[in-house]
Amino acid sequence: MLRNSVFKSELYRKCTNKYLGYNYKGKILKNTMSEKMFTSNNTLYEYLMHIDDILYEIFNGIKSIRNFMSISRDKHDRDMN
């Protein structure tokens, strides 16, 4: 069981990260594929958006693994690009 430190909560309360990176949600495939793929067929559009959600979750998982394996950061840090 992890205990929250008083100093950590104070640090997170004052934290104002301005450089949070690019928001990939719903934009991964739209930026890499042709617009005709999304406008031609509604079923194809829904399928591609489903794949886009899966890719977004994979990218977020990679970010958390990168945070956990980093030797220069605390493994309990919440704010990371």
pTM, to two decimals: 0.63
Distance of alpha carbon 11 from the chain centroid:
22
Per-residue pLDDT tens digits for 4-34: 666 666 666 666 666 667 778 888 888 888 8
Q: How long is the chain?
A: 81
Can you tell me the mean pLDDT for 29-52? Answer: 90
Q: Hey, how many other C-beta atoms are within 10 angstroms of the C-beta on 37?
A: 13
